[in-house]
Amino acid sequence: MSVSTAAADQSVCAPLPVLGRDVTVPLVTGGEVTYAALDYAASAPALQRVWDDVAAYAPYYGSVHRGAGYLSQLSTDLFENARRTVAEFLDCREGDQVIFTRSTTDSLNLLAAALPADCQVFVFETEHHASLLPWRDARVTCLNAPRTPQQAVESLERALAGRDPHGPALVCVTGASNVTGELWPVRELAAAAHAHGARVVLDAAQLAPHHPVSVRDLDVDWVAFSGHKLYAPFGSGVLAGRADWLREAEPYLAGGGASRKVTRREDGGVEVEWHESAARHEAGSPNVIGAYSIASACKALTEAGFDTLVAREQHLIRKVREGLAEVPEVKILSLFGDDSPRVGVISFVVEGWNSSHFAAALSAEYGIGVRDGLFCAHPLVRTLLGSDPETQGECGAPEAAPGEKSLNAIRVSFGAGTPDEHVERFVRAVRELVRYGAKWNYRTEDGRCVPAV
């Protein structure tokens, strides 16, 4: 997977309009400032286009499938058209299913529930918990963090060479790290997996908002992502890919919509004939607005052009990385090195600072929203920080008071809606905090650093 480097040192295009771009927040030191949302890796703001599309549809909302009324039929068409839009966005193969879920986590848990008996799963310790934890009921081989893309491929090949060649196997890989932003060699990992008779699921939660994702080109069997990271935060996600394992598995949830026919048995029980389509795993009333919002975001990103979006994001990445490089106390976390292609996700630590204290000061004194903690990727962050893998830590919460050593880092992330001013203000704020210290006193409250009143 390659990344465009066409951007010059100036902005190559305007950011896509997003909600919240004019929101002001109070500063603890007095006054207000326009909020700089730099936590896209957790949840990206809604695209204005998505919000407008949802608002236009909302008066026509109705329950999908089997409704005789006009609004129900309209909503059903919209829901199924959204499925087709997502399939086109992902360049799915003929016969692939697109299932609407709640999130990436929900998608991967659904797939985990559909694994054939005695399936062996291979996953790197570098995965987000959404793609690291769902496989607990399978035979799991957890691979150590690689230090180069080639090492990742070689490590997977060695592990697969030692597996039972007759049983089913699944490899779970990330497209872009939610900690370092680094792109993984998805195509090469998929080739290695298929050479050893294993299938591949791609966690594209951090990839799909930043780069085109082609199921055909990457040759993955499934892909999962979340609407709330794709500028469509309305409670939906996607699992798309091969239908056979999904069609043969028990429904993820039992209920209306998943069933084709239900009859009583003489013994008092019921017989159920389940759908074989995507509806098999979409029991209950579907989140029509969530699905429609994802389709709207897919159209907006496609129309904007990923070449343009990638070029502009690389421009912002350079601004941040070059700015942080001028502060000796800052250490950027990386697996593959400075030259590795990446998306707009950068994690770092600051010498002499508790990361939660630093993040709190960025928010309270500069109006900049970043994230601190272990980012729901505990094994990876511990590896990057050189800590004991047995050290306990709560996701997103610091383990010590301000000024004390703590196992956590700071993450800044951005995307299609980020203006240059936000990253420029962030870089200035980092320099000032490191040079002059915080202007305010902070205390720990419920595991978080907050301004002292």
d(CA 370, CA 42): 9
- Does the annotation count 142 as an active-site position? no
Chain CA centroid to CA 414, Å: 13
Of 2, 9, 96, 28, nearest in space to 317 by CA: 9
Of 417, 368, 19, 51, which Cα lies nearest the Cα of 209?
A: 417
User: Cβ–Cβ contacts within 10 Å for residue 389, how many?
Assistant: 9
208 residue type, one letter = A
Structure tokens at 449: 């650093």
Would you state the torsion angle of the CA atoms of residues 340, 434, 412, 402, taken in this order, to the nearest 10 degrees? Answer: 120
- The angle subtended at Cα 251 by Cα 250 and Cα 255, nearest 5°, is 135
**Residue of 92, 172, 298, 376 marked active site:** 376
Say how far apart CA 366 and CA 316 lie, in whole Å. 19
Contact between residue 19 and residue 52 where contact means Cβ atoms under 8 Å apart: no
Non-local (6+) Cβ contacts of 336 within 8 A are: 147, 148, 149, 180, 182
* Residue 69 structure tokens: 């009324």
**In angstroms, how far is CA 379 from the centroid of its own chain?**
17
For the four alpha carbons of 220, 172, 226 and 360, in that order, the dihedral sign comes to negative
How many residues in total does the chain contain? 453
Q: Which residue has the tokens 């502009």?
A: 312
Given the structure tokens 């306990």, which residue do they identify? Answer: 392
| 443: three-class secondary structure by DSSP | strand
Residues forming beta bridges with residue 176, ordered by sequence position: 183
Q: Is the dihedral of CA 185, 186, 191, 195 positive or negative?
A: positive
Q: Annotated active-site positions, please?
A: 376
